[in-house]
Each structure stands twice: as structure tokens, then as C-alpha cells.
């Protein structure tokens, strides 16, 4: 079981880090998710930096517990954006079907981060 949890932590770290890097490589992809009343560039690049820090943090022994909990909180913070997207006339994610798929994926990411954090905490 320890091997499965180690793989889960590594994959989560890679996935979150890649997502953070993608905020810089493809910022237009994230723009539709950012509410109009927020500064788009600051939120996009700030989220990217945070995701990179948290993803890399999962590989640093003294920071992996904090990083896992940070990812858990970040995924919860992103959850309302995906709920709003379901009700949008033109979902940011591309289509209603994609929005309906993406919402459960967000719950999987929340559970995944919680599971990794809980394991590190032991």
C-alpha cells in the first residue's frame, strides 16, 4: 500500500506542477474561468505559481504535508468555478458535456489531495 500512496503522491505532484506550468504556456485556456471582477493576469499567473510551488512541494520531505494540504484547499477553492461553469450558457471548459465531466474530476482531485495529505500526516 505504501507504494500505491507514493505513486499517488508523485502523480499528484507531476499533475499539479504541469497544470501550473500550463498557466504560463496557455493562459487563454484559463481566462474564461476567471470572474470578470478579478484581475485576469494576476489570478491566472498567481494560480500557476501557486500550483507549481505546491506540486514541487510534494517532492520536498519537509514540505510535502503542507503542499498536499495546500493542494486540497486550492482544489476546493477552484470548485465553485466548475459549478458556475455548469450553469453558464457557454461553459469555459468548452461544452456542457465537458463541464459535467469536469465537475466530478474536481471532486476526484479534492479526494486525491486529501488522501495524499492524510497518508503523509501519519
The number of CA neighbours under 13 Å toward the Cβ of 10 is 6
pLDDT exceeds 90 at position 119: no
CA angle, residues 90, 95, 101, in degrees to nearest 5: 125
CA–CA dist 81, 86 (Å, integer) = 9
Cα-Cα end-to-end distance for the chain: 14
- What share of residues in the chain are helix, strand, coil (percent, to 5)? 80, 0, 20
- In tens, the pLDDT along 52-92 reads 999 999 999 999 999 999 999 999 999 999 999 999 888 88
CA–CA dist 68, 57 (Å, integer) = 8
The answer to whether the predicted template modeling score (pTM) of the entire model surpasses 0.75 is yes
- In tens, the pLDDT along 20-64 reads 999 999 999 999 888 889 999 999 999 999 999 999 999 999 999
Amino acid at each position: 500500500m505504501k507504494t500505491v500512496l507514493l505513486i499517488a503522491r508523485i502523480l499528484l505532484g507531476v499533475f499539479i506542477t504541469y497544470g501550473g506550468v500550463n498557466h504560463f504556456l496557455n493562459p487563454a485556456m484559463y481566462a474564461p474561468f476567471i470572474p470578470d471582477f478579478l484581475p485576469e493576469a494576476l489570478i491566472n499567473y498567481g494560480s500557476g505559481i501557486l500550483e507549481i510551488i505546491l506540486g514541487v512541494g510534494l517532492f520536498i520531505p519537509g514540505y510535502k504535508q503542507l503542499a498536499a494540504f495546500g493542494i486540497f484547499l486550492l482544489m476546493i477553492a477552484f470548485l465553485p468555478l466548475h459549478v458556475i461553469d455548469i450553469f453558464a450558457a457557454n461553459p469555459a471548459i468548452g461544452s456542457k458535456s465537458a463541464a459535467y465531466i469536469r465537475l466530478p474530476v474536481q471532486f476526484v482531485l479534492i479526494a486525491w489531495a486529501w488522501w495524499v495529505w492524510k497518508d503523509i500526516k501519519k
